[in-house]
Amino acid sequence: MGALAIAGCSREGATGARAEPLRVPAPGWRGLLYFKQERPGPRRDLWIQSLDGLRHTALTDSGRLAGWNRPQVEGPLNGACISPDGTCVAYAERHPAASDGASVSPSQSWNVLLVVKADGTGRRILVDLRDLPSLPKGTRASSFIWSSDGKHLAYALEFPNPDCELLKLYKVEVESGRVTEVPLGPIQGKPQLWVWSSSRNECVFTLQCGATGAQRLGVLDVSTGRVRTHPAEGPAVSPDGGHAFVTTSTPQGRKASLHTLDDAFTPEASLGAFTGRFNWYNQRPGGLFTEVTPEPPTTECAGVTPPPQRLYRWDPHARTHSRVRQDATPFTVLAFSPDDTQALVNILVGRDDSQPGFCGEGWLQRLHVVQRDDLESDLPMEQLLARSTPLAPSTPWPGPSSSSYIGWLR
- pLDDT (tens digit per residue) in 30-79: 899 998 888 777 889 999 999 888 899 999 999 999 877 655 445 556 78
Q: What is the average pLDDT across 264-274? A: 82
In this predicted structure, the answer to whether residue 21 has a pLDDT above a threshold of 70 is no
Q: Express as a percent the part of the chain with pLDDT over 90.
A: 48
In this predicted structure, the answer to whether residue 319 has a pLDDT above a threshold of 60 is yes
Is there a contact between 247 and 253 (Cβ–Cβ < 8 Å)? no
Return the pLDDT at 215.
86
Q: For the segment 324-354, what is each residue's pLDDT rounded down to a tens digit?
A: 999 999 999 989 999 999 999 999 988 877 7
Is there a contact between 364 and 348 (Cβ–Cβ < 8 Å)? yes
In this predicted structure, the answer to whether residue 22 has a pLDDT above a threshold of 50 is no
Q: Which amino acid is at 234?
A: G
Q: For the segment 71-109, what is each residue's pLDDT rounded down to a tens digit?
A: 544 555 678 999 999 999 999 999 886 654 445 554 458
In this predicted structure, the answer to whether residue 134 has a pLDDT above a threshold of 80 is no
Q: What residues pair up with 307 in beta bridges, in sequence order?
A: none
Return the pLDDT at 202.
96
The number of angstroms, rounded, from the C-alpha of 143 to the middle of its chain's C-alpha atoms is: 13
Which of 119-128, 218-227, 350-359 has the least mean pLDDT?
Answer: 350-359
- Picking from 337, 362, 333, the residue whose alpha carbon sits closest to that of residue 347 is 333
* Model confidence, pTM: 0.85
Return the pLDDT at 16.
32
- Picking from 342, 398, 337, 387, the residue whose alpha carbon sits closest to that of residue 365 is 398
Return the pLDDT at 130.
84
Q: Is 205 left (phi over 0), alpha (psi -120 to 50) or beta?
A: beta
Q: What is the average pLDDT across 234-257? A: 84
Report the distance separating Cα 337 and Cα 344, nearest Å.
Answer: 8
Return the pLDDT at 137.
80
